[in-house]
Structure 1
Amino acid sequence: LGGTCLNVGCIPSKALLDSSEHFHAAQKDFKEHGIDINAPKVNFEQMVERKRGVVQKTCDGIAFLMKKNKIDVHQGVGSFIDKNNIKVIATDSKEKGKETKIETDKVIIATGSKPTIFPFFPYDKKRFITSTEALELKEVPKKMIIIGGGVIGMELGSVYARLGTEVSVIEFMPSILGSMDSTMGKELERVSKKNLKMKFFLQHKVEEAKQDGDEVVIKAIDKKGKEVEFRADYCLLSVGRSAYTEGLGLENIGIKTDDRGRVDVDDHLETSVKGVYAVGDVVRGAMLAHKAEEEGTMVAEIMAGQKPHINYLLIPGVVYTWPEVASVGYTEEQLKESGRKYKVGSFPFMALGRARASMDTDGLVKVLADEKTDEILGMHIIGARAADMIATGVTAMEFRASAEDIARQSHAHPTYMEAVKEACLAATGNRAMHI
């Protein structure tokens, strides 16, 4: 139980990110902190085993909640017979292959997603891998090529770069983290080069992937039209995810999917078949666990006769690299494209006492506000603890707060959150105090 997030996504990747960050800090920062230790070594087997333990405990927690709330769980492959009858073929060891039919009035499709695979990519789960296999490698690669500089590529690239892997990121777009404010991608690229020696090849189109002995070979065309060849031990493909809707028998009830396998739903997340809903990665929008959680709650409330609403603009996005990247609301590029008049306030962590005390001075807070009303339109953070800090931006925008509202609040000193106050001061007449 737990889906992609818990089993092969958010939770296991965060476990490895945290372990690798501890190792990197021991190597790079301890001496300056006055901590002398012998050269630390990576016990990768133990690192992966700890990750498995974290996943198992969390899965057990989900199973406990199901039991506590008297929810029947059928482990198997489910599909529609018709809109009121579901067939489940058991996959658990005790009753494997057993067929069960479930009669129901309402159905929620929440089958999640799987990594997108290029047609030419020789996906063998050994040398040519996706995020699923990257979480279960038996060794730390000497060299790794990552196709795709999005969230997954940057997180897993960070894990292995910290452990000593020479990481090269090949990205088709002009910058990494293409869905976020461009300032975030540029800053993360700069910091990743500086701290982790990661290499970036932007505006490169991958055209061929093959194996040559123990090496993977990737051929790409750069922005000048020149062919470039890359060689490494492993190649990680991280170019997004596709909805997991194959084999559900959607055709049996007349539900169609788009070219990415996603189910079409209305504003209430109901499909074209009355009483059948879909949430999470199988529908439009960002493929985020917390977005899926909100949608699941919304559908449950609709079924109970309530009238809930989700403001998708206020679903935050986070990249768990170090420094972390977090974003909510409009990007500067979106505001420019829409023609809306706005103002910008930013504040670097370098100027923050708390950041200097912890030696985490990379990054900045960027606030976008309406030019006339001062209403906060977007908040973008790259820095230590950005994932937790972004919640203040969500709250502010939920209540349509102005940058002045945040600037007037007392923020505890010394904290990272002071950078948000300073960025809001900068957005209201360039009044930041500590820069």
Structure 2
Amino acid sequence: MVVGDVTTGTDVLIIGAGPGGYVAAIRAGQLDLDVTLVEKEAYGGTCLNHGCIPSKALISATDVAHDASTAEEMGIHADPAVDLAGMVSWKDDVVDQLTSGVEKLCKANGVNLVEGRAEFAGENTVRVAHAGEGQGSETIEFEHAIVATGSRPMAIPNFEFDGERIISSREALALDAVPESLVVVGAGYIGMELSTVFAKLGTDVTVVEMLDSALPAYEDDVARVVKSRAEELGIDFHFGEGASEWVESGDGITIKTEDEDGEISEFGAEKALVAVGREPVTDTLNLDAIGLATDEGGFLETDDRARTDVENVFAVGDVAGEPMLAHKGMKEGEVAVEVIAGEPSALDYQSVPAAVFTDPEIGTVGMTEEEAEEAGFSTVVGEMPMRASGRALTLGESDGFVRVVADDDAGFILGAQIVAPEASELIAELGLAVEMGATLEDVAATIHTHPTLGEAVMEAVENARDRAIHTLNR
């Protein structure tokens, strides 16, 4: 039997239950708004199900095995047996716990959950096609809508994803056996994170990148530390080469690349992981129905209140453009709902941190030295090498540094770059400093626990003041 179409209404309609969408929904419930959240696949979106959480779970698990097998210097001799299927099963349990938690939190905050694919049908309506044969559809009328449909892996010509030979990060995180060899196309943060995972599992990894360096979004000395560690793990890099085609070859495939001079190279592997970036999912929304257009990249342009060109339609998360970060989308979701509720809320992107979970990790916030000088600041920079950190040495992880950029006149902290163990955690202190307008003296005067990695932040700040104790002052 086909379920007939029904019409319902809501104050706030949210399309997509990823980080931006579910946070917006919960915040709307807290503000006593009638809110409906539509999700076509799984609560938590890509981040919880196929991205942030599963990748970090596998990174942590492979680190345990790798650290145990390479700790001879500490007097530990081990040869762990890795069961990838078991590791993935554990990862899935973590994901299930979090996604079910999101669903429960939404329901506890009065959110009306609707499963299906939504597209705009008119100025104030969407139609939701329910999953499953005979499940029908429904029309939802809304006063305000928030688009939070996220992003998907970007394909490249001749390398369409088939889930077997040519895989995206989604399939890579669900493999039940360790591939003997893998070509990774793209040396951005996703490519570098997953290259490290598989290299630590024993895969022969080759990375092909069109640009001249790994992690091109980061400063050279930051990326260099990560690339050097990756090479120690056996990862083979080929820069200035674009993947052009692939063919079946025996039990695997052969990937052909081409450089700017037209020279062809070939690489054999069991699989190819294409990790060249992500693109927004806006082509499924029938935006023409509300008179809304995307930019050339498919993104929805928004103002500092997450509002699009259509006054009652907002966009948050990856669909709203760079940086495509879950925590940025979460904040946008909160702001969008608060604006809808009439609260004085707005976005400020100056202190949005970014992290890359490579080995070692990268954490950044605010401006680099170059960016600060381009903005007209007279800068002072302080650094603390991790090789001078007692805690880093006790962890056996002494590569990298903490760098702080500040205004030389007033001492305000403008930004920071960290490449170090637990950089994703360490950057939070400096993000707070940028957000609150803290000075070098404010952070230096804060007593940090000894021995911790966090002391390196204090020492970098003191280095900028020519007062560092545990490293030479500049």
* TM-superposed deviation, 1:225: 5.2
What SS does the aligned partner of 2:177 have? Answer: coil
Aligned match of 1:403: 440
Alignment partner of 1:101 out of 132, 139, 144 = 139
Corresponding residue of 1:69: 109
Match of 1:272 among 309, 328, 340: 309
Match of 1:292 among 329, 335, 343: 329
Q: Structure 1's 96 and 385: CA in aligned 2 closer, same or farther, altered over 3 A?
A: farther
What amino acid maps onto 1:20 in structure 2? T
- Counterpart-to-counterpart distance in 2, 1:272 and 1:122: 33
Moved more, 120-129 or 151-160: 120-129
- Distance in 2 of aligned mates of 1:161 and 1:191: 11
> 1:221·1:228 contact (CA, 8 Å) conserved in 2?
yes
The Cα offsets for residues 53-79 of structure 1, whole Å up to 9 and x where unpaired, read as 111111110111111112111111001
When residues 96 and 144 of structure 1 are mapped into structure 2, their CA distance, relative to the original with a 3 A threshold, is farther
User: What is the CA distance between 1:236 and its match in structure 2?
Assistant: 0.7
| Superposed displacement of residue 7, structure 1 | 0.8
- TM-score normalised according to structure 1 size: 0.94
Contact kept, 8 Å, 2:63 with 2:200, in 1: the verdict is yes
Shift of 1:377: 1.5
Deviates more, 1:226-235 or 1:74-83: 226-235
Are 1:208 and 2:248 matched, yes or no? no
Q: Do structure 1's residue 414 and structure 2's residue 451 form an aligned pair?
A: yes
1-side partners of 2:220 and 2:372: how far apart?
A: 12
Against the structure 1 CA distance between its residues 113 and 58, is the aligned structure 2 distance closer, same or farther, given a 3 Å change threshold? same
Distance 1:336 1:176 in 2: 25
What RMSD in Å do the two structures reach over aligned CA positions?
1.8
- 1:337-376 equivalence runs, <5 A: 337-338=374-375, 340-376=377-413
Task: Give the unaligned 5+ runs of structure 1.
Answer: none
Q: Could you tell which deviates more after superposition, 68-77 or 199-208?
A: 199-208
Shift of 1:197: 1.6
- 1:80-137 residue CA offsets vs partner (Å, 9 max, x unmatched): 111211111111x5x7632111111111000100011112213211111111111111
Letter in 2 for 1:7: N
Contact 1:112 1:244 (8 Å CA) reproduced: yes
Q: Partner of 2:18 in structure 1? A: none
Q: Aligned equivalents of 2:236 and 2:219: distance in 1?
A: 21
Counterpart CA distance in 2 for 1:10 and 1:146 is 19
Verify: 1:14 aligned to 2:56, yes or no: yes
Q: Note the C-alpha offset of 1:279.
A: 0.5
Tell me, yes or no, if structure 1 residue 144 matches structure 2 residue 182: yes
The match for 1:114 is 152
Shift of 1:429: 2.8
Match of 1:33 in 2: 74
Q: 2: CA distance between counterparts of 1:187 and 1:42?
A: 27
Q: Secondary structure at the match of 1:308?
A: coil
Is 1:238 matched up with 2:278? no
Given the two structures, how large is their TM-score scaled by the length of structure 2?
0.87
Whole-angstrom distance in 1 between the partners of 2:377 and 2:235? 36
Aligned AA for 1:45?
Answer: A
* Offset at residue 219 of structure 1 (A): 2.3
SS of equivalent to 1:60: helix
Alpha carbons 1:180, 1:331 under 8 Å: kept:
no
- Structure 2 CA distance for partners of 1:430 and 1:193, relative to 1, 3 Å: farther
Equivalent residue, structure 1, for 2:161: 123
In terms of mean alpha carbon deviation, does 6-15 or 245-254 score higher?
Answer: 245-254
- 2:371 partner SS: helix
Q: 8 Å contact 1:44–1:139 — kept in the other structure?
A: yes
Question: Among the aligned pairs, what percent are the same residue?
Answer: 38
Kept in 2: contact 1:423–1:432 (CA 8 A): no
Q: Partner amino acid for 1:120?
A: N
Match in the other structure for 2:84: 44
Task: Assess if the C-alpha contact under 8 Å between 1:181 and 1:333 holds in 2.
Answer: no
> Counterparts of 1:171 and 1:403 in 2: how far apart (Å)?
38
2:114 partner SS:
coil
Matched, 1:4 2:41: no
CA contact (8 A) 1:143 1:232 kept: yes
Partner of 1:228, secondary structure, is strand
Q: Deviations over 1:176-216 (max 9, x none)?
A: 2222233211111112212x121222222333333334322
Instruction: Tell me, in whole angstroms, the C-alpha distance in 2 between the residues paired with 1:223 and 1:54.
Output: 44
Deviations 1:228-263 (A, max 9, x none): 222211111111111111221111111111232211
Give secondary structure in 2 for the equivalent of 1:368. Answer: strand
- The worse-fitting range, judged by mean Cα deviation, of 267-276 and 300-309 is 267-276
Given that residues 146 and 314 in structure 2 are in contact (C-alpha distance below 8 angstroms), is that contact kept between their aligned partners in structure 1? yes
2: CA distance between counterparts of 1:285 and 1:20? 30
Q: CA separation of 1:226/1:373 partners in 2, compared to 1, >3 Å: closer, same or farther?
A: farther
Runs of 5+ unmatched residues, structure 2: 1-42
Which AA in structure 2 matches 1:281?
D
Deviations 1:377-403 (A, max 9, x none): 211111111111100011111121222
Q: Name 2:26's counterpart in structure 1.
A: none
CA distance in 1, matches of 2:268, 2:378: 47
Q: Distance in 1 between matches of 2:48 and 2:351?
A: 23
1:159 lines up with 2:197 in the alignment = yes
C-alpha distance in structure 2 between counterparts of 1:367 and 1:414, whole Å: 20
Query: For residues 367-426 of structure 1, what are the alpha-carbon distances to aligned partners after superposition, in whole Å with 9 as ceiling and x for unaligned?
Result: 112232222121111111111110001111112122232223211110001111111111
Contact 2:124 2:143 in 1 (8 A): yes
Q: 2:184–2:273: 8 Å Cα contact kept in structure 1?
A: yes
Q: Distance in 2 between matches of 1:87 and 1:149?
A: 40
2:130 aligned with 1:90, yes or no?
yes
CA separation in 2, counterparts of 1:427 and 1:176?
Answer: 28
CA contact (8 A) 2:440 2:462 kept: yes
